Amino acid sequence: MAETGTEARLRWLEIPIELPESGRSETFELDGIPLLLCNADGRPFVVRDECPHVQTSMQGGTIQGTILECPLHGGQLDLRDGTPVAMPIRRPATCYPVRERSEGAGLEIGLPARAVEGPDRRRPTTGPAVAEGERQGRRHRAFESGPEKAEDAREERK
């Protein structure tokens, strides 16, 4: 059967870890993307392992039904589509489709073709915006590091 729409734009990759026990989650990484494999009452879900609240790992969070509770501040999201359920999470998490492997045991994750083709081109790695960020970073370091370091930073800018 031919794949259509979103399915056709996905690349299915083997998940390199086993499904954890029910109610548990485990981290892994594919193509530089931090991911969290969750077992919600026997059903596997994968979400980007970056809490939408402050971009920290959600490993160790509790899972009840399809709701994952972040271990840091207790925000909750629905693993089915990443919808925020409880504060302080306000933005949706990124979820990825999961299926049984077509050959052999284990699971596969569907990553967008863009995610496996190379680095995210929406973020510049050079250019005026990056140069400005680096200037701001030096200024910030000067405030954080005490008077001697601030003097070093001033010398650096000359």
Name the site residues for ligand FES (rule: CB under 6 A). 51, 53-54, 56, 70, 72-73, 75, 88-89
CA distance 25 to 90: 22
Minimal CA–CA distance to 104: which of 6, 8, 5, 15? 15
**Residue number, 64 or 136, with CB nearest to ligand FES:** 64
As given in the structure block, the two tokens for residue 52 are 């939408």
Helix (H, G, I), strand (E, B) or coil at 115: helix
CB of 55 to ligand FES, least distance (A): 8
Closer CB to ligand FES, residue 75 or residue 110? Answer: 75
- Shortest Cβ 147–ligand FES spacing (Å): 34
Shortest reach from residue 66's CB to ligand FES, in Å: 17
Within 13 Å, how many C-alpha atoms sit on residue 3's CB side?
Answer: 9
SS3 147: helix
Minimum CB distance to ligand FES smaller for 49 or for 108: 49
